[in-house]
Amino acid sequence: MRKQQVTLAAIAISPAIPLDREANPFEVGIRLTFSATATAQVEFTLDDVFDPTVTPVWTIAPAPFNSGSANAAGKWPFAVVAIRLNVTAFTSGTVTLQVLQGKQG
């Protein structure tokens, strides 16, 4: 997977970033960067984001991506279908989510 990146500059929710949940091992690097006065969280779903008959249920990610205003980076801890960025409070600047999934095999 090529590096995926979303940047928000307002209270908003990004489009979903689909991941290969069948990758073995499931290795995903994630970085959340603030050049803003904002609060944001990363959210994940186990639901099929490609099925128009499904309304995905989004869950707040574990620490350190679960709500804050400081840069964070790390390995995603478990297999998921997709993740997204949710900026919940905003004054100025931008919040960027970068995702990189390793190749299978």
Residue 67: the pLDDT is 80
Q: Cα 90 vs. chain centroid, distance in angstroms?
A: 18
Q: What is the pTM (predicted TM-score) of this model?
A: 0.92
Which helix (H) or strand (E) segment is 95 a member of? Answer: strand 95-101
Average pLDDT per consecutive 10 residues, the chain (105 residues; last block may be shorter): 91 96 90 92 96 96 88 92 96 95 72
The amino acid sitting at 5 is Q
Give the CATH number of the domain where residue 50 resides. Answer: 2.60.120
Range of the domain at 62: 4-101
The pLDDT of residue 104 is 58
Number of domains in the chain: 1
Give CA angle at 97 (89, 4), nearest 5°.
145
Neighbours of 67 (CB within 10 A): 15
